Amino acid sequence: MKKIIVLGCGLVGRAIAEDLAKDHNVKVVDISQQNLKRLGQGIDIELANLNELEDFSAMLKDFDLVVGAVPGYMGFATLKKVIEAGKNVVDISFFPEDPFELDELAKQKNVTAIMDCGVAPGIDNILLGYHSKNMEVEKFVCYVGGLPLNPKPPYNYKAPFSPIDVLEEYTRPARIVIDGNEVVKEALSEPEIIDFGKAGKLEAFNTDGLRSLIKTMPSIPNMIEKTLRYPGHISLMQNLKDGGFLSSETISVNGKSTSAMELTAVILFPQWKLEEEEQEFTVMRVIIEGVENEENMRYEYNLYDEYDNETKVHSMARTTGYTCTAAANMVLNGGYNKTGISPPEYLGFEKANMEFMIEYLEERGVVLRKKVVE
């Protein structure tokens, strides 16, 4: 059995730890005693503030692999400390910084560092990576969202991640690719209503979801990712944005420095908090079009996954967490050993890795339904 340490024990970190603990020795580090108490039996725990540790070497020295599951705002710094400690890592913190700034360091330390390995970014990247080796891809589109099964107004939304991470998605400029050119759109822009079958009609809008694909897939002329919410959510968020409630500029409140976004996140947290056994679902549609064997081809992958009543694991934790644990097992069993920074599309370059990922997810009830149009 391998020894794995998971940094972070939020909704997804917990699912990751419990899945890996089926076959490995797992330890979890988090700042919240309450989060750690939710873990199942047989998992070691440590209460610690990772921000206060300048050097992770002592903490990580006995482990074969590290999983990063901290909030986005501390993800880059945490990943850098892990790499400096010389440990292979799979990360899902989805930080805003450029991960390739750590590529040379990871190569110097002989470290395999897989980042952004969740549902999206994650599964969609792996699919695109695979098809990019077998066809001339001309268009990539990903629609994705996690939503409560029983929405409550006014927001009709619950956040599986930190609310401030979600709010930053609504303010960060969205980079897309049109006719071979990188184009910057405003977040929440270009809404469209799409029917997703069991999930119903949802509202899609631009967010900065392409991330590494802009750099790693320069030959694909058209790429876009859109976030999904229940209809009406965009206008509510746009009103907050227009009113300055999502500004990151520093302000003073009763002598204390903060930002409007931080205050808004605090206010929204109790309204957006996903309760322990609250029913929710994840929906994703990935469309890949291009020329394969001189034929026009269109591949469509659809995912719909709900909260698991038996295991009590939320869908967003399942779809994100199990993608991460699949990648972790690839590294541990030698299926993937490329040094440096690896976005998930690199995993998809090898057919065996893509098939391992899909099979691993299916074993846990996360099923991608494939449709081919010639």
So what's the pLDDT on residue 41? 84
Q: Write down all domains in the chain, each with its CATH number in brackets.
A: 3-117+318-366 (3.40.50.720), 123-306 (3.30.360.10)
**CA 237, CA 346: separation in Å to the nearest integer?**
34
Please spell the DSSP secondary structure of 209-226, one letter per residue: --TTHHHH-TT-S-EEEE
Strand partners, 194: 202
Residue numbers in the chain where pLDDT is lower than 70: none
Q: Is the pTM of this model over 0.85?
A: yes
Q: Is the dihedral of CA 58, 61, 62, 65 positive or negative?
A: positive
So what's the pLDDT on residue 274? 87
**CA 225, CA 124: separation in Å to the nearest integer?**
10
Contact between residue 184 and residue 175 where contact means Cβ atoms under 8 Å apart? yes
So what's the pLDDT on residue 160? 77
- Smallest CA-to-CA distance from 299 within 134, 68, 63, 149 is with 134
Q: Which amino acid is at 107?
A: K
- For 49-52, the CB contacts below 8 A with 24+ separation are 50/7, 50/74, 50/78, 51/77
So what's the pLDDT on residue 24? 97
CA distances from 326 to 4, 106, 129, 278 (A): 13, 21, 16, 25
Write out the two tokens for 141: 């589109």
Stated as kind and residue range, the H or E segment containing 16 is helix 11-20
**CA 274, CA 54: separation in Å to the nearest integer?**
32
Please spell the DSSP secondary structure of 67-86, one letter per residue: EE---GGGHHHHHHHHHHTT
Write out the two tokens for 298: 């269109």
Return the DSSP state at 268. Answer: H
